[in-house]
Chains A and B, each alone.
Chain A
Amino acid sequence: MELLLPILLIAVYLFLFYLCGVILCHGLGRKESIPFKIVYGYFLYFLLFFAVTIIPKALKASLTFLSVLWVIVVCLILIFGIRFLISERETINAGKGYIGITLLLIFLMTALLNTNGDYITIWDAAYYIGDVNTSVYTDSISAYDPYTGAKLSSFTPDYFLEVLQNHSAVVCRLFHIPALLEVRTTLFSVNIILFYTIIVLFSGMFFEDREKQRTLFLVLFMFFDLFTYNLHTRSQILLMRGYEGKAVAANIIIFGLLYILFRYIEGEDDIWKVGVLVSMASFGLNMTSILLVPALTAAVLIPHMIVTAKYDRLRYAIYIVLPMVFPGVMYLGMKYLR
């Protein structure tokens, strides 16, 4: 029974991401699929959380205060999301059989990975989970050392802007669930589901409505993930410790942005705005994004610009990379000035 709430919370998370996706698509005037709304709603959700968290965190406010603020924002998400949802009729393009198989595969993968009790690097787990647990225990926002429980004199530059673990602490505070259950069951499952939802988006991009090819693509992708294990691969980080910020960076941020960039080079000029959203949300999820997001954007868009000789498109690459200036300067400033 103790596991029931963490499992129910997975559905709550996904529903909130979906509503954020509805708000996003409404705001940008886009018609998109449900998987798209869930994935990019995730980025909007965490961008909002970052906006709400960063000042209370810097001012060392209490976790309770942040939780109250976040409840207000979630109420607004619910009000606007449901309102827009009612006003727009959702259409599902793919066949019902394909949707069923896709959901089943993602469910099986999530269930399989959830039966794993091992984690490779105890020190990383002790940071990510310890920070959540310590924040809840001390009613603070990452103001204590997760390893010792001692009060920090200053924030660590590598983690100050990361709010993923602060979100888990808020969830633990609101629902009174242990940090280990929120992080290693709820958040872990959510990240697995989100990543394979992005792969579903890719399958649609590559094979459109050919259901057999799309299913085969998803099955083979999952199979390869299960068999490409070493300490450093993207798949290992997702499968073994999918709740860590680096798992989000390696899987959800990179693939989420890559999907947008691929659509852009296919000729969807307007999609760059979603790329900016991913970029803005990314450093609140993992600081490595400061490097990875600009590198990936440049790697895809600069050759595209040269090949197509459309040099005016450089500005879109700049728009996507621009949000990284703030965390980049802040990171270097904190690192060298403290």
Chain B
Amino acid sequence: MDLTLTYDALTQAFESLKVYFLIYCLCVVLIFLLGKSLDRERFVYPVIFLVLTLYNPILVSPIAETIGLLPRIRRIYWLLPVTLLIVYLIVRVVSEAGSAVFKVAVILAALLIAGSWNNYFENRKTPENIYKISDESILVSEKLHELSPQDGDIMVVFSDDRLQEIRMYDASVRNILRRKDLLNWQPDVEDEEYVREVYASGKTNRIITLFVKYGCVPEDITILSDALEKKDPDYLICDKDSMKMMTLEDMGARKVSETDSFAIYEI
């Protein structure tokens, strides 16, 4: 039983927003001590109930994995109406205050405090086009179609997560590697013994993943070329990593096109 499960999830859920969460806790206490009974029913008792049940690791830990909650455990904190309560209290204080100066001071203080937290603007990016994906992904897709003018699917190997954008834009470009190869499988590539075991296993997706994602090249390069031959992609889209490019060329792959960040190899 993991007794820190819900606490760890809480710290992650409010990571870098501790003050925001502490202000919420303070608001809950204030409502409990000074609020009307309806407000306590809205904002305090549900929290107490959740702390005793869903946020209680003794109750939740044993069933979390069974019900598929473990990878989504942080979502239980979406149930706390944090902003709703804080903003409600601010507006209540402002509306009940007599002095205009006090009202303005409370609003300014709220804006200044909240304004110092992590903001959306630092994390936004101006879109490059109306599809809101990178121009380069669109360019790669167009180049693939230029290279394969016939209708039908184009089988490729994506070497970079960014290239997932292509499938959002153009479903005729199909990736050989699956989510469970590129994301869920996290090999310790520093462990040479483990890497050798992967090569010996003959698992083609994993052998290709080791190369395209981690840059691992087997001593016997035929292991990689056999894996690629088995999967038979039309193209491999490689980030412009000189070692990977050299390996591909050693295997007889031909660079047929390129963009700023990627080289397209015919396999």
Contacts and interface: CB of A to CB of B under 8 A. Distances in A.
B174 interface: yes
A234 B173 CA distance: 33
A149 B91 contact: no
A292 B75 contact: yes
Interface stretch (B45-53, B237-245, B257-265): B45-53
Interface stretch (B65-73, B189-197, B220-228): B65-73
B98 interface: no
A224 B114 CA distance: 6
Interface string A220-262: 1101111111111111100110000010011000110010001
Given A147-B179, A332-B67, A134 B117 contact: no
A118 B42 CA distance: 36
Contact of B117 (A137, A217, A221, A228): A228
B100 interface: no
B171 A148 contact: no
A157 B67 CA distance: 11
B107 A216 contact: yes
B130 A181 contact: yes
Contact of A233 (B13, B95, B124): B13
Contacts of A54: none
Majority-rule SS of A interface residues = helix
Given A117-B128, A207-B91, A217-B91, A130 B75 contact: no
Contacts of A258: 81, 84
Give chain B's interface residue range (CB within 8 Å of chain A): 35 or more
Interface string A93-125: 000000000000000000000011111101101
Contacts of A118: 123-125
Contact of B45 (A133, A224, A303): A303
Interface stretch (A13-21, A22-30, A294-302): A294-302
Given A130-B167, A266-B38, A299-B50, A232 B74 contact: yes
Contact of A2 (B45, B127, B130, B172): B130
Interface in A192-236: 199, 202, 206-207, 210, 212-213, 216-217, 220-221, 223-236
A275 to B, nearest CB: 15
A207 B95 contact: yes
B38 A265 contact: yes
B164 A184 contact: no
B132 A180 contact: yes
B121 A226 contact: yes
B153 A149 contact: yes
A149 B17 contact: no
A32 interface: no
Contacts of B67: 291, 332
Contact of A122 (B68, B162, B172, B173): B162
Nearest to A158: B68
Contacts of A296: 46, 79
Contacts of A179: 168
A307 interface: yes
B231 to A, nearest CB: 11
Q: Which among B41, B53, B169, B172 has the highest number of chain A CB atoms within 10 Å?
A: B41
26 contacts: A115-B126, A122-B164, A125-B164, A126-B165, A133-B169, A137-B171, A149-B173, A179-B168, A185-B130, A199-B84, A207-B95, A210-B95, A213-B91, A223-B114, A227-B115, A228-B20, A229-B122, A233-B14, A240-B120, A246-B75, A254-B78, A258-B81, A258-B84, A295-B50, A295-B76, A300-B42
User: Top 3 nearest A-B pairs by Cβ distance?
Assistant: A117-B127, A303-B45, A137-B171
Interface of B: 12-17, 20, 37-38, 41-42, 45-50, 53-54, 66-69, 72, 74-79, 81-84, 86-88, 90-92, 94-95, 107, 110-111, 114-128, 130-133, 153, 161-162, 164-165, 167-179, 183
Given A117-B124, A117-B126, A224-B114, 8 more contacts: A117-B133, A122-B164, A148-B175, A220-B107, A220-B110, A230-B17, A246-B75, A249-B75
